[in-house]
Amino acid sequence: MEKFYTTTAIDYVNGAPHIGHAYEKILTDVIYRHFSQRCDNAYFLTGTDEHGIKIQKTSAQNGISPQEFCDMNAQKFKDAWRALDINYSQFIRTTDEQHERIVQKIFKKLVDKGDIYKHSYTGLYCSGCEAFLSEKDLTEDGLCPDHLKKPEVVKEENYFFKLTKYKDAIIKHIKTHPDFIVPSFRVNEVLNQLENIEDISVSRVKSNVSWGVPVENDPEQVIYVWIDALSNYITAIGYDPENPNDGSEKFRTLWPADVQVIGKDILKFHSIYWPAILMALDLPLPKHILAHGWITIDEAKMSKSLGNVISPTGVLEAFELSIPDPFRYYMASAAPCGKDGNYSDEDFKEKVNAHLANSMGNLLNRTLSMLVKYFDGDIKPEFLGKNELTAQALETVKAVKHHFDYFEVQEASQKIIELVDITNKYVTDNAPWTLAKEGNTEKCGIVLTNVLQVMTVIASLIYPYCPNIAGEMAKQLSYDITTKLDDITCDTLRAGHLINKEDIKPVFLRVDSELAEKKK
């Protein structure tokens, strides 16, 4: 692979980040880190959406300017992602000067092309969605289905984008690129939405919404969310509609995006509105739009009224975790591709203890301990060369890559744990402690070395989920964790001294262990 460019949805800063935001960022970070192991030019964009009526109203209620409010809340998202080791390449804010400038140029280009026109309009506006809704979008009681509030009737003269002009082209693209929308069971949903689309409002009257990017040459209008927010995916990497080559070298290298990760609730905007805007700009479409599901809490939808909204770092604090890896692993493996997942304290504790502490961590710890006990931490030349687990390990690498090609992050994690379980069974079946006791030292050394060779593969595969744990595993194995997946051979260990007793440490302590509670 020459490059890999992935993005998340940009989060609206009207409130603090919660576990749903964290799920999307962790999922994308795991995908990004995996593909970083397969190419040298991987890029990960995330950020915040900072314009609109809700920001305007909430900042006024808090007695501060919209910009101050955005600055305060954008930092909360940055702090949360830092705590979760979200290794993004760039964090864009839609209040960034460069973004606003390019958005104005994009808007002007579409006006000049005739794809944006001015039109008087009376519509049903939901401030929660920041969107105009049609009657068919509402519930039987006339409410917004997402916010369960009655939209207000708004009459304005706004600029509209000719979405209907691109309807047939979008349908054709979806049908000729069956993997454009992931998972595939979302395709019919989008095709059904396309049947009744109308042109969309892309500006608001400044007297009603003042917090937005001004329309050049029309000071009474501000650019509405779709042109502003959706364009971040190209403005961030240097797109410029006035440049004959359409922007910077970074843009020409990275675009189109390889996958754009978004929640299923905003799939319509990313699979219909966004492709139409790109077509109007004569730009290629993203290769894939990945619509993930929602995270429920103890099988209940998150709700302020239920009091079950969890902050991204709340789990780390509750379990006194010094690294975010357990939470990252749990969230990334919480749901099959595109389906809903669930978080519960008990399931979290049970799963990470079973997979990360008991199975994977204990496997490495006891194998290294036996190497020290029986061979002073040395790998002898006669221990190398024969490994019954090699084929299984290399097949797992291929399987994990295959799952990531389809963004099946949970499914890939299951393959990794299967390899851990197979290796644990190999240890049990061969009983190196018995071999040592019986004086069959060479066979004992071969078994231990075979396991440690496979552990280097496991370290590489688990790295996107658990970068800190994988780093500690690699350190104890004297293994280069930056090894590309295509270069894995399962024979990186060499004859010589590997480790001393004092350097063997648990890579992850059980959440409820006595040692964990004593912070040892």
Average pLDDT, the chain: 93
Q: What is the CATH classification number for the domain harbouring 481?
A: 1.10.730.10
Q: Which two tokens stand for residue 504?
A: 């063997």
CA-closest candidate to residue 321, choices 471, 79, 516: 516
Of all residues in the chain, what percent carry a pLDDT higher than 90?
Answer: 83
Same domain, 166 and 25: yes
Question: Do 4 and 258 contact (CB within 8 A), yes or no?
Answer: yes
Q: Report the pLDDT averaged over residues 57-84.
A: 97
Q: How far apart are CA 379 and CA 368, in angstroms?
A: 11
* pLDDT in the model for residue 519: 47
**Contact (CB, 8 A) for 9 and 50:** no
Q: Are residues 109 and 179 in the same domain?
A: yes
- Structural domain for 238, as ranges: 4-297
**Pair (349, 283) in one structural domain:** no
Residues 376 and 228 in one domain: no
- Among residues 25, 34, 99, 129, the one annotated as catalytic is 129
Tell me the per-residue pLDDT of 147-158, one tens digit each, with 9 for 90 and over. Answer: 788 888 888 899
The alpha carbon dihedral of 34, 81, 334, 359 has a sign of: positive
CATH number at residue 91: 3.40.50.620
Burial class (CB in 10 A: 0-12, 13-18, 19+), 281: middle
Residue 418 lies in a domain: yes
Catalytic residue among 136, 304, 519, 520: 304
In a domain, 266, yes or no: yes
Residues 287, 178: Cα–Cα separation, whole Å: 11
497 is catalytic: no
CB 128 within 8 A of CB 52: no
Q: Do 381 and 279 sit in the same domain of this protein?
A: no
Catalytic residue (one of 25, 34, 99, 126) = 126
Q: Let me know whether 292 and 362 are in one domain.
A: no
Are residues 53 and 121 both part of a single domain? Answer: yes
Residue 22 has pLDDT above 90, yes or no: yes
| 21 is known as an active-site residue | yes
Partner residues linked to 379 by β-bridges? 496
Bridge partners of 12, per DSSP, are 49
Catalytic residue status for 70? no
Looking at the fold, whether 174 and 272 belong to one and the same domain comes out as: yes
Q: Which residues pair with 295 in a beta bridge?
A: 341
**pTM score over 0.85:** yes
Catalytic: 147? yes
The pLDDT tens digits of the residues spanning 412-452 come to 999 999 999 999 999 999 999 999 999 999 999 999 999 99
Query: pLDDT, tens digit, for every residue of 257-300?
Result: 999 999 999 999 999 999 999 999 999 999 999 999 999 998 88
Whether 102 has a pLDDT exceeding 70, the answer reads: yes
510 in the same domain as 386: yes
Is 120 part of a structural domain of the chain?
yes
Please say which residue of 262, 279, 297 terminates a domain: 297
Q: Indicate the SS3 state at residue 260.
A: strand
Q: Is residue 85 classed as helix, strand or coil in its secondary structure?
A: coil
**Residues 292 and 377 reside in one and the same domain:** no
pLDDT at 130 over 50: yes
What is the pLDDT at residue 432?
98
| pLDDT value at residue 126 | 80
CB 159 within 8 Å of CB 202: yes
Segment 25-49 shows an average pLDDT of 98
Instruction: Name every residue whose Cβ is closer than 8 Å to that of residue 430 and which is 6 or more positions away in sequence.
Output: 443, 447
Q: How far is CA 251 from CA 12, 24, 283, 290, 494, in A?
A: 25, 24, 11, 21, 43
Residue 472 lies in a domain: yes
For residue 324, being part of any structural domain is answered with: no
83 lies in the same domain as 161: yes
In a domain, 328, yes or no: no
In which element (H, E) is residue 214 found?
strand 213-215
Q: Which of 119, 155, 177, 301 is catalytic?
A: 301
Among 265, 297, 329, the domain boundary falls at 297
- Separation between Cα atoms, residue 211 and residue 257, nearest integer Å: 29
Q: Does residue 301 carry a catalytic annotation?
A: yes
Which of 70, 144, 337, 444 is flagged as catalytic? 144
403 occurs within a structural domain: yes
Active site includes 144?
Answer: yes
Q: What is the pLDDT of residue 476?
A: 98
Kindly state the average pLDDT of the residues 483-511.
95
| Residue 142, domain member (yes or no) | yes
Residue 305 has pLDDT above 80, yes or no: no
The pLDDT value recorded for residue 246 is 66
Let me know: does 241 contact 102? Beta carbons within 8 Å. Answer: yes
Contact 426, 389 (CB under 8 A): yes
Report the domain count for the chain: 2
Rounded distance, CA 415 to CA 425, Å?
15
